[in-house]
């Protein structure tokens, strides 16, 4: 497991490394020659993460992501895409579990939802890659989020 | 006219705007901000001309905001960028107007660059992340708020401008204009605060999923929820921050958001 998360606090406890990811998110944007595109969509809030993969020989040769979500989503996306870039697909899938193990207790509930959007977009992109390899026509694979990243006030308003 | 030119004008607007944020000298800051607003109008007019000619544009961009350490390090590349963009203009009344405005800006930049006294240090990218009198929790809240909301204001400016260019309703057009104007002011306020903290950074690029709106009513309802969330963040900051002037600024922004919600509700009535 890469040690990119070692000593890294999440945005609620800002450190210079997090500040750097906020100012200059890594792997942000589109990938024109992607062969796997996944979207994690929160239909309740309209927030999404779209993730692009360029997979060669079962390895993530390149990766990009974009989101209209909050800064927690951006920081997780920036760090996580660094982590799985140039790694085997199997590693990327395991990395999700490892990150949860490592950060689960340090993240707030809201941050966990944001992180989940990033990981879900990766799963969707891998599914899109698999579908395309099997000859299915699909522009992007979309997975809908079960949990929503809302403020408690917004949730109360709906009750 | 094509998207490449639109992209360059989009980038030029941001370059002038962020040069204004980065530079401390109030006179230079203010002049550059005025020029950035003119550049935004160029972008708007160019977008309208592209649509009238049956074309289309998007918000892709290909730029970095480099960490500069002096005023001249900010201004010299800006001057080069303007000159390079001017090579792309064709012949039309709009292009003549844009070239004239930019020539005047170039003249102003030359005047600034001719006087060594203007070459002051730039602290906007120093990452010092300090604000006089603010304790650590207040500073952290302020930092997160500024990253969150500077992106959001940039997003709103572009999304509303995109919809404004495509609506046939005068009522919608006017509401979009009010919302764009309001977001310009907020982006200016937040950008200058980020520069003061030494954490000035470009808002991230908008993906087309964000601005190609297929359901306006859903978008507005989500937007109202976001405004409510922003108001809550302002209220929290205003009550927790241990700096009276900053606190009253966030109360002022909170109250402005109230009226944004009213403006957005008008769009739901359409």
Please report the domains of chain B, with CATH numbers, ordered by start residue.
1-124 (1.20.1260.10), 126-270 (1.20.1260.10)
The stretch B225-230 carries a mean pLDDT of 86
What is the distance in angstroms between the Cα of B101 and the nearest Cα belonging to chain A?
A: 31
- Ranking A15-24, B175-184, B207-216 by mean pLDDT, the lowest is A15-24
Q: For residue range B25-49, what is the model confidence (pLDDT) as tens digits?
A: 999 999 999 999 999 999 999 999 9
The stretch B150-158 carries a mean pLDDT of 95
The stretch B172-198 carries a mean pLDDT of 95
The stretch A60-81 carries a mean pLDDT of 94
Instruction: Tell which wins on pLDDT, B52 or B245.
Output: B52
Give CA–CA dist B49/A143, Å, rounded.
38
The stretch B172-182 carries a mean pLDDT of 95
Return phi, psi of residue B64, to 5°. Answer: -120, 155
Give Cα separations from B154 to A113, B23, B113, B149 (angstroms). Answer: 24, 20, 29, 8
List, in sequence order, every residue forming a beta bridge with A157; answer none if it has no partner: none
With CB atoms and an 8 Å threshold, state whether A22 touches B232: no
A51 touches chain B (CB under 8 A): no
Given a contact cutoff of 8 angstroms between Cβ atoms, the answer to whether A31 and A50 are in contact is no
Instruction: Tell which wins on pLDDT, B144 or B71.
Output: B71
- Ranking A106-115, B32-41, B170-179, B209-218 by mean pLDDT, the lowest is A106-115
A-facing residues of B in 21-40 (CB < 8 A) are none
Return phi, psi of residue A49, to 5°. Answer: -125, 130
How many of the other CB atoms lie within 10 Å of CB of B80?
Answer: 10
Chain A residue with Cα closest to B145: A71
Q: What is the DSSP letter of A9?
A: P
The stretch B174-182 carries a mean pLDDT of 95
Q: What's the pLDDT score for residue A156? A: 45
Give CA–CA dist B147/B131, Å, rounded.
16
Q: Kindly provide the ipTM of the predicted complex, given to two decimals.
A: 0.86
Q: What's the pLDDT score for residue B227? A: 86
Give CA–CA dist B130/B120, Å, rounded.
20
What is the distance in angstroms between the Cα of B91 and the nearest Cα belonging to chain A?
A: 33
The stretch B127-132 carries a mean pLDDT of 82
User: For helices A16-23 and A71-84, what crossing angle results, to 10°?
Assistant: 100
What is the distance in angstroms between the Cα of B140 and the nearest Cα belonging to chain A?
A: 7
Instruction: Examine the pLDDT at A9 and tell me if it is beyond 80.
Output: no
With CB atoms and an 8 Å threshold, state whether B232 touches A151: yes
Give Cα separations from A18 to A66, B31, B63, B134, B167 (angstroms). Answer: 18, 33, 21, 20, 40
Q: What is the DSSP letter of B124?
A: T
With cut-offs at 50, 70 and 90, classify the pLDDT of residue A99. confident
Give the DSSP per-residue string, B61-101.
---------BHHHHHHHHHHHHHHHHTT--SSHHHHHHHHH
With CB atoms and an 8 Å threshold, state whether B144 touches A151: no
With cut-offs at 50, 70 and 90, classify the pLDDT of residue A8. very low
The stretch B152-171 carries a mean pLDDT of 95
Q: Is domain A30-146 in CATH 3.90.1010.10, yes or no?
A: yes
Supply the mean pLDDT for chain B.
Answer: 92
Q: What is the DSSP letter of B121?
A: B
Which helix H or strand E contains B11, and what residues bound it? Answer: helix B3-22
Map out the domains of chain A as residue ranges.
30-146
A74 touches chain B (CB under 8 A): yes
Give CA–CA dist B200/B147, Å, rounded.
9
The stretch A117-138 carries a mean pLDDT of 96
CB-based contacts of A31, cutoff 8 Å, min separation 6:
A52, A53, A54, A62, A63, A64
Given a contact cutoff of 8 angstroms between Cβ atoms, the answer to whether B198 and B127 are in contact is yes
Q: What's the pLDDT score for residue B136? A: 83
């Amino acid at each position: 497991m890469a040690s990119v998360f070692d000593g890294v606090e999440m945005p609620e406890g800002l450190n210079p490394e997090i500040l750097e990811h906020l100012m200059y998110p890594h792997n942000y944007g589109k990938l024109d020659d992607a062969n796997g595109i996944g979207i994690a969509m929160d239909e309740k809030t309209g927030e999404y993460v779209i993730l692009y993969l360029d997979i060669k020989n079962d390895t993530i040769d390149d990766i990009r992501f974009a989101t209209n979500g909050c800064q927690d989503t951006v920081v997780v996306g920036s760090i996580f895409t660094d982590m799985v870039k140039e790694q085997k697909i199997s590693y990327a899938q395991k990395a999700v579990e490892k990150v949860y193990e490592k950060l689960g207790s340090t993240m707030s509930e809201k941050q966990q939802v944001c992180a989940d959007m990033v990981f879900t977009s990766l799963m969707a992109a891998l599914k899109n890659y698999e579908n395309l390899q099997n000859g299915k026509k699909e522009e992007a694979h979309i997975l809908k989020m079960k949990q929503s990243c809302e403020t408690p006030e917004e949730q109360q308003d709906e009750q | 006219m094509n998207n490449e030119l639109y992209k360059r004008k989009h980038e030029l607007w941001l370059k002038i705007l962020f040069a204004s944020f980065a530079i401390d000298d109030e006179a230079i800051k203010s002049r550059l901000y005025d020029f950035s607003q003119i550049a935004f109008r160029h972008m708007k007019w160019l977008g309208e001309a592209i649509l009238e000619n049956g074309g289309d544009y998007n918000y892709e961009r290909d730029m970095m905001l480099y960490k500069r350490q002096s005023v001249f390090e900010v201004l010299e590349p800006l001057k080069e960028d303007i000159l390079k963009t001017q090579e792309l203009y064709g012949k039309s009344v709009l292009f003549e107007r844009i070239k004239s405005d930019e020539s005047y800006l170039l003249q102003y930049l030359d005047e600034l660059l001719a006087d060594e006294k203007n070459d002051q240090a730039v602290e906007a990218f120093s990452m010092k992340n300090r604000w006089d009198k603010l304790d650590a929790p207040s500073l952290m809240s302020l930092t997160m708020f500024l990253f969150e909301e500077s992106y959001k204001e940039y997003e709103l400016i572009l999304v509303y401008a995109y919809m404004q260019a495509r609506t046939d309703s005068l009522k919608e057009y006017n509401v979009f204009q009010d919302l764009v104007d309001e977001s310009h002011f907020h982006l200016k306020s937040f950008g200058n605060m980020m520069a003061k903290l030494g954490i000035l950074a470009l808002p991230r690029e908008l993906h087309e999923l964000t601005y190609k709106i297929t359901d306006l009513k859903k978008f507005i309802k989500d937007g109202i929820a976001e405004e409510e969330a922003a108001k809550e963040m302002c209220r929290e900051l205003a009550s927790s921050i241990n700096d009276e002037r900053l606190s009253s600024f966030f109360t002022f922004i909170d109250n402005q958001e109230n009226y944004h919600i009213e403006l957005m509700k008008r769009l739901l009535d359409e």
